[in-house]
Structure 1
Amino acid sequence: MRILHLLASPFWSGPAENVALLAQAQRALGHEVTVAVDRKRKDIAAEEPAVPRFQALSLLDEGGLALSVKSPPWEMWSDLRALRRRQVDVLHAHFTHDHLLARWGTPKGAVRIRSIHAPRSLRSSLPEAGAYTVPASHLQAKLEGRHRPVQVLPALVDPMFEPAKDRKALRRALGLGDTHLVGMISTFQESRRHALGVEAFGAFARQRPQAHLVLVGDGALLEATRAQVSQRGLKDQVTFAGYQQGSAFAKWLQALDEVWILGLGNDWSARAAAQARACGVRVVAVKEGALPDLADTQVEAPTVDAVLAAALSGASAKSEHPTNERIASDILDLYRQAAEVRR
């Protein structure tokens, strides 16, 4: 198949990594795959840009699409015309802008697929597609009325996420002690509940005095979180690791005993939980998105007591996450189903 993914974002965040891993796995199965991203927005100093990443993976589409929510009408018209001329079998749209563009610009003979990455995209105005994906099984029912195939697109995991070969040595290299390490690995924003995590860790540390909290990431609430840690007298038990990416991020994750995921952002596939499980790290998580399928133990409510109870429970899950190859194969089957329905 000739597959074109549309991802109207200039950032290597949210669903971008999942789309890249899916495209790589589809290519490994023998298909021609590229990914078009927002080429218009270049002033994105606060986040890592997507273009260099997709270029390095030889996945970046060079079909001339601006694919930007910042495009004026004439630029969108140009994108529509460029899309209609493309020779592809599958047009896989990932964001609302992509789907609107694909609704009118799908090339003749191609099947249009839409991935929903967060519940806010599930609106009554959602344009028609040949099939849909959702990030978690409980969202499938919301698309049943469209009478089109709907499938879960789970988080894909890079092979670098694997258990540490020598965790003690890794911890020494990162400047961490060989004690019980709890981590939070996300952007410092309201939805990720770092304030709750710090309060819960304070309670956790009173029962496990040797525990240490590692906070990986940056974001708008970073300084507020630093202040909270200081006010709670936890400075000696908390490490701010900063923004990490690629293999460096994998090393910080591998060093942990458990990770607390207390909220999701733009991607409800819960990729961080899948990465942690692949590293042999226990996952304590709230009931959002795909987290219930990936957590070792669930936080019943976003409260200090609930986080503490889950963390101290010692519960672990034995479920296995599907491989990238299996996920890609399942999505290719979805494309075929959509083509059959269209006929």
Structure 2
Amino acid sequence: MRILHLLASPFFSGPAENVALLAQAQRAAGHEVTVAVDRLRKEVLAEEPAAPRFHALGLLDEGGLELSVKSPPWRMWRDLRRLKARSVDVVHSHFSHDHLLARWGRPAGATLVRSLHAPRSLRSSLPVADAYTVPASSLLPRLEAKGKPASVLPALVDARFEPAKDRAVLRRELGLTGAPVIGMVSTFQPSRRHGVGVEAFALYLRREPEARFVLVGDGGLVEQTRQQVSALGLSQAVTFAGYQQGDAFARWLQALDEVWLLGLGNDWSARAAAQARACGVRVVAVNEGALPDLADVVVREPSPEAVVEAAMSRQMAPVNHPSNAQIAADILSLYSRVRPAR
């Protein structure tokens, strides 16, 4: 099949990494796959730009689509005409802008699949497509009730995420001391509840005085979180690792004993939880998106006391997360199920 993914974002964050891994796995299965991204916004502050990364992977679509929510109407119209002239079997759209474009610029004979990456996209005015994907099994019934063909698109995991060969050596290289080492790995924004995590760690430290807390990421609430850490007298036990990507991010994750995932952003596939599990890191998480499917223990409510209760339970849960090849096969099967009806 000739597959074109539409991803109207200039950032290699949120769903972008999942799309890249899915496209790679589909290509490895013998299909012709490219990914079109936002080509208008080139100055991307604080986050990795998407176009260079997709180009390096050999996946960047060169069909002339600007694919940006910031494009003026006449350039959006140009995108529509260019998409309509394409010769592809499947158009797989990932954001609302993509789907608007694909809805009216669908190439002749192409199947249209829409991925919903967060529940806010699953609304009564859901645009028409041949099939849909959702990031968590808990969202499937809402589509099935509408009679829509749908499948779960779980988090795909890059091969770099594996248990550390020597965690003690890795921690020394990263300047980490003490144990256990607990982390939060996410953008500093309200939905991720860093404030709850810091308060929980203050309580946890009373019971585990040698524990250390690692905060990986950046965002608008970094300084506020630093002030909270200082006010609680935790500065000696907390490391702000900053924004990490690629191999560096994997190393920080591998160094942890446990990760606290206390909220999701615009990607409910809970990729960080899947990455942590692949690294052999225990996952303590709230009940959002796909997190319950990947957590060792689910926090009953997003409060500091409940986080500590879950962390101290030491509960471990087996998780049989599908491989990237299996996920790609399932999505290709979804394409095939709806194609004959056209």
Alignment TM-score > 0.5, same fold = yes
Q: How far 1:71 sits from its partner (Å)?
A: 1.2
2:75 equivalent to 1:78? no
> TM-score, normalised to structure 1's length?
0.99
Structural RMSD (CA) = 0.8
CA distance in 2, matches of 1:125, 1:97: 14
Q: How far 1:100 sits from its partner (Å)?
A: 0.7
Contact 1:148 1:338 in 2 (8 A): no
Contact 1:2 1:33 in 2 (8 A): yes
Structure 1 residue identity aligned to 2:16: A
Contact 1:216 1:244 in 2 (8 A): yes
> TM-score, normalised to structure 2's length?
0.99
Q: How does 1:78-227 map to 2 (within 5 A)?
A: 78-227=78-227
Q: Deviations over 1:90-122 (max 9, x none)?
A: 000000000011001111111000000001111
2:58 equivalent in structure 1: 58
Q: How far 1:147 sits from its partner (Å)?
A: 2.1
Contact 1:117 1:268 in 2 (8 A): yes
Q: Which moved more, 1:31-40 or 1:173-182?
A: 173-182
2:245 equivalent in structure 1: 245
2:299 equivalent in structure 1: 299
Q: Deviations over 1:186-245 (max 9, x none)?
A: 011000000000000000010000100000011100000000000000000000011100
Q: Secondary structure, in 3 states, of the residue corresponding to 2:202? A: helix
Q: How far 1:148 sits from its partner (Å)?
A: 2.6
Contact 1:10 1:50 in 2 (8 A): yes
Q: Secondary structure, in 3 states, of the residue corresponding to 2:151? A: strand
Q: Secondary structure, in 3 states, of the residue corresponding to 1:239? A: strand
CA distance in 2, matches of 1:211, 1:86: 56
2:232 equivalent to 1:232? yes
Q: How far 1:43 sits from its partner (Å)?
A: 2.3
Contact 2:37 2:51 in 1 (8 A): yes
User: Identity of aligned pairs, percent?
Assistant: 70
Structure 1 residue identity aligned to 2:319: S
Q: How far 1:182 sits from its partner (Å)?
A: 0.2
Q: How far 1:178 sits from its partner (Å)?
A: 4.8
Contact 2:178 2:212 in 1 (8 A): no
Q: Secondary structure, in 3 states, of the residue corresponding to 1:101? A: helix
Q: How does 1:315-330 map to 2 (within 5 A)?
A: 315-330=315-330
Q: Secondary structure, in 3 states, of the residue corresponding to 2:34? A: strand
Q: How far 1:125 sits from its partner (Å)?
A: 1.7
1:22 equivalent in structure 2: 22
Q: Deviations over 1:242-293 (max 9, x none)?
A: 1100000000000000000000001000000000000000000000000000
Q: Secondary structure, in 3 states, of the residue corresponding to 1:225? A: helix
Structure 1 residue identity aligned to 2:228: Q
2:247 equivalent to 1:279? no
Q: Which runs of 5+ in 1 are unaligned?
A: none
Q: How far 1:86 sits from its partner (Å)?
A: 0.5
CA distance in 1, matches of 2:261, 2:147: 34
Contact 1:91 1:113 in 2 (8 A): yes
Q: Secondary structure, in 3 states, of the residue corresponding to 2:335? A: helix
Contact 1:113 1:130 in 2 (8 A): yes
Q: Which runs of 5+ in 2 are unaligned?
A: none
Structure 2 residue identity aligned to 1:3: I
Structure 2 residue identity aligned to 1:209: P
Q: How far 1:177 sits from its partner (Å)?
A: 1.4
CA distance in 2, matches of 1:162, 1:43: 33
Tell me how many residue pairs correspond in the alignment.
342
Contact 1:168 1:178 in 2 (8 A): no
CA distance in 2, matches of 1:26, 1:302: 37
CA distance in 1, matches of 2:338, 2:284: 37
